[in-house]
Structure 1
Amino acid sequence: MKKYLKALIGLALSSCSNGQTTVAENGIEVINNGITKKQSELLFDNTKSFPNGTQLSIALIKNGKIDFIGVERRNDTIKLIENRKNTFEIGSITKVFTATLLSNFVNNKELKLDDNIQDYLDFKIKSENSITFKELTNHTSGLPRLPSNLNLFLVDQDNPYKDYDEEKLISYLTKEVKLNQEPGIKYEYSNLGAGILGFELATISKSSYEALLQEKIFTKYKMINSTSTRKNVENKLVKGLKPNGKTASNWDFDVLAGGGAIFSTVEDLSKFGLAQFDNTNSELALTQKPTFKVNDNMSIGLGWHILKRKNGGELIWHNGGTGGYTSSMALDLENKNGIIILSNVSAFNKKMGNIDQLCFGLIKTLNIK
């Protein structure tokens, strides 16, 4: 631990937003709300088991102010680096953005949350049940996690979604779709549901999912390094890692992009995070409102999961994982605190849960006066 703490000395300057330093008793340089001893211990404990080459890019938002921390595991030690502008796959945090697009359509009166998705399609879904836009985004549609004609054992294991196109989705919806339960009754997480939502919003607007993101979200919040198209950020992309530390293939999405296609930076996501604290932003406020109670500890809004905290407060939260990356984002709206973590830890790494554990551990430290 002492070696790790010493490694932070002198490097924290490049990762924080203000140049004033004080030296704490343990020797760690603390820059205003920069890294503390407790935070450094959490970082070490939750990253020590990952392979060399592992990077974490972290935003700590405290009372609306941001500090950035970048760490990389090199030669079995952990170093602070500058990576807040580097791009990672964010996986299922994409679903929050797809839900935000839906909120935009609702605010612009282009559709209603409780509208039947069938009413906006030019083909007939093979189901006696109607599914609403709200049910797609709060995972109560009854749809399975993935479509039955996307067999993960038969596709390219390193890039499983790349060939699942519009033709295959329409074939599934018109011929094969089978709900696991009646819509609106039970929470069941569905990548398929979010993918259908992204596809349908693009269809309604006669546009593409990427164009909608750029027009309605990324440009608005100045997220200049965010995209659902890999070629746009290839030169800034941190390489994903397999559990054994070898380079993982990136995942490319076609028609199911709304479920997990976005690449972003922790700097860009922090801009989106800060915008969540603005209660006059009706588009974002709508996504934060509970739409379904999952259990006593969790409800879901539009995309966001709403978690009860032991201190009586709430967090809005989502995480993500792909073959080479894991992410986690939690925001305390009341206190304007938040943690955003992007990493190149594989979702198949047996310790991938450490990223969420680190996220929740770090946000607790922001409540300490």
Structure 2
Amino acid sequence: MRKLVATIIGLFIVGYTCCQTPAAVNGLPNASPGISRQQTELIYEKSKSFPENTQLSVAIINSGVVKFFGIKRNNDTIQQINNRHKIFEIGSISKVFTSTLLASFVENGKLELNDPIQDFTDIEMNIGEKITFKQLANHTSGLPRLPSNLNLLFVDPSNPYKNYDQKKLKEYLTEEMKLQRSPGDGFEYSNLGAGLLGYLLAHISNKTYEELLNEHIFSRYEMASSTTNRDEVKNRLIKGLDGKGDETSNWDLNVLVGAGGILSSANDLARFALAQFDTNNTELNLTRQPTFTVSDQMQMGLGWHIIKANNGKNEIFWHNGGTGGYTSSMALDTENKHGIIILSNVSAFHQKTGKIDDLCFGLMNTLWKQN
């Protein structure tokens, strides 16, 4: 599982060199209501090497029942705190929300998954092949990870997408657009593709991406703390840490906001997770239908990675996220109504950031063993 996860990273661009952080002392209780000792020990084990002031906000959903568990590293001790309503950047988990907007458009008859995107914009794209909305959502469009006119040598690494605006996206599409492969031929994770999907849906509806989220998702699932507007939640926003453990800038995704620009809380994401267990919700069910087979272990839905886990006995819908100051991971077992959500201010560039995904899958394993 770890090898698979390592190939599906979020919005990462460049890395930092950081020093080893001494392991923190375990100041957590043996167990909390609804949280087992095994789960508590696993949370400590996976977080003990993160920097001072690291926070993890965890939601554990066991058979549809949600329990929250928050931790903070303070004075070299991992302590329990209540941070279920605190706000973190969720990074590329935003792609699941962008794909959910797409599903809503499909369910409302505004477009079909296999419609070419070129039919919904007057931008003359610099390619001869058609790309469908489904291919943007499942990373088979053939588009590269990032547009060629987002020059990594000249961006601020602490906020690399900030100046990539609508003008630059249009310039790329009309002048520099080039596919890595023919659309539909293979899987290639693309922040550009997801960002373009969010941009097109906003264009089609003549609304902003934020307005679409509020109308179709946040209001529907009572996610009052979720937004792309940082000013709305700044009083509850946890400071992001860079790869060395120092406070760092938040990221502004600008025109590519659909690829990773949402801020949220564990409480809000738990509401979204619980909605996934409703078999009558055709919109959310559509996002979890397989649309492309990547390997024997993984398929793609719309946004979601569909992974065979636990030796093929279980299927989980998963996505993670990473920005300069935050890392997140979310996994759902809809059959058993299990879910794990982890939000953190561990930088995507920290040398042990992979422990967030390890913790996510490890906690899911504890639920399977309990049941």
Q: Same fold (TM over 0.5)?
A: yes
Match for residue 323 of structure 1? 324
Distance (Å, rounded) in 2 between the aligned partners of 1:261 and 1:123: 24
Q: What does 1:59-138 correspond to in 2, within 5 Å?
A: 59-138=59-138
Q: What does 1:169-248 correspond to in 2, within 5 Å?
A: 169-248=169-248
User: Larger relative CO (CA 8 A, sep 6+): 1 or 2?
Assistant: 2
Asked if the contact 1:318–1:329 (Cα under 8 Å) also holds between the matched residues in 2, the reply is yes
* TM-score normalised according to structure 2 size: 0.92
How far is the alpha carbon of 1:30 from its aligned partner?
4.0
Distance (Å, rounded) in 2 between the aligned partners of 1:219 and 1:151: 37
Asked if the contact 2:165–2:255 (Cα under 8 Å) also holds between the matched residues in 1, the reply is yes
Larger Rg: 1
Distance 1:2 1:155, change over 3 A: closer
Q: What does 1:1-80 correspond to in 2, within 5 Å?
A: 4=26, 7-9=27-29, 28-31=30-33, 34-80=34-80
Give identity over the alignment, percent. 57
Q: Could you say what secondary structure the match of 2:294 adopts?
A: strand
Match for residue 282 of structure 1? 282
Code of the residue aligned with 1:47 in structure 2: it is: S
Q: Could you say what secondary structure the match of 1:350 adopts?
A: coil
Q: Which runs of 5+ in 2 are unaligned?
A: 1-22
Q: Could you say what secondary structure the match of 1:306 adopts?
A: strand
Match for residue 19 of structure 1? none
Code of the residue aligned with 1:8 in structure 2: it is: L
How far is the alpha carbon of 1:368 from its aligned partner?
2.3
Asked if the contact 1:230–1:252 (Cα under 8 Å) also holds between the matched residues in 2, the reply is no
Distance 1:30 1:324, change over 3 A: closer
* TM-score normalised according to structure 1 size: 0.92
Asked if the contact 2:342–2:356 (Cα under 8 Å) also holds between the matched residues in 1, the reply is yes
Q: What does 1:310-349 correspond to in 2, within 5 Å?
A: 310-349=311-350
Distance (Å, rounded) in 1 between the aligned partners of 2:296 and 2:369: 26
Distance (Å, rounded) in 2 between the aligned partners of 1:302 and 1:133: 10
Asked if the contact 1:277–1:333 (Cα under 8 Å) also holds between the matched residues in 2, the reply is yes
- Cα offsets for 1:219-278 (capped at 9, x unmatched): 000000000111111111000001211101000121100000000000000000000000
Match for residue 12 of structure 1? none
Q: What does 1:237-316 correspond to in 2, within 5 Å?
A: 237-309=237-309, 310-316=311-317
Q: Could you say what secondary structure the match of 2:306 adopts?
A: strand
Code of the residue aligned with 2:124 in structure 1: it is: K
Q: Could you say what secondary structure the match of 1:357 adopts?
A: helix
Bigger mean CA deviation after superposition, 307-316 or 354-363 = 307-316
Superposition RMSD on alpha carbons, in Å? 1.2
Match for residue 358 of structure 1? 359
Distance (Å, rounded) in 2 between the aligned partners of 1:3 and 1:290: 43
Q: Could you say what secondary structure the match of 2:254 adopts?
A: coil
Distance (Å, rounded) in 2 between the aligned partners of 1:3 and 1:51: 12
Q: Could you say what secondary structure the match of 1:213 adopts?
A: helix
Distance 1:2 1:53, change over 3 A: closer
Code of the residue aligned with 1:75 in structure 2: it is: N
Asked if the contact 2:25–2:76 (Cα under 8 Å) also holds between the matched residues in 1, the reply is no
- Cα offsets for 1:188-239 (capped at 9, x unmatched): 0000000000000000000100100011100000000000111111111000
Asked if the contact 1:55–1:72 (Cα under 8 Å) also holds between the matched residues in 2, the reply is yes
Distance (Å, rounded) in 1 between the aligned partners of 2:340 and 2:31: 20
Q: Could you say what secondary structure the match of 1:256 adopts?
A: helix
How far is the alpha carbon of 1:139 from its aligned partner?
0.1
Code of the residue aligned with 2:353 in structure 1: it is: M
- Cα offsets for 1:133-190 (capped at 9, x unmatched): 0000000000000000001220111111111111110110000000000000100000
Q: Which runs of 5+ in 1 are unaligned?
A: 10-27
Q: Could you say what secondary structure the match of 1:295 adopts?
A: coil
Asked if the contact 2:89–2:261 (Cα under 8 Å) also holds between the matched residues in 1, the reply is yes
Bigger mean CA deviation after superposition, 223-232 or 263-272 = 223-232
- Cα offsets for 1:91-124 (capped at 9, x unmatched): 0000000000000000001000000000000121
Distance (Å, rounded) in 2 between the aligned partners of 1:290 and 1:164: 32
Distance (Å, rounded) in 1 between the aligned partners of 2:38 and 2:153: 43
Distance 1:167 1:45, change over 3 A: same
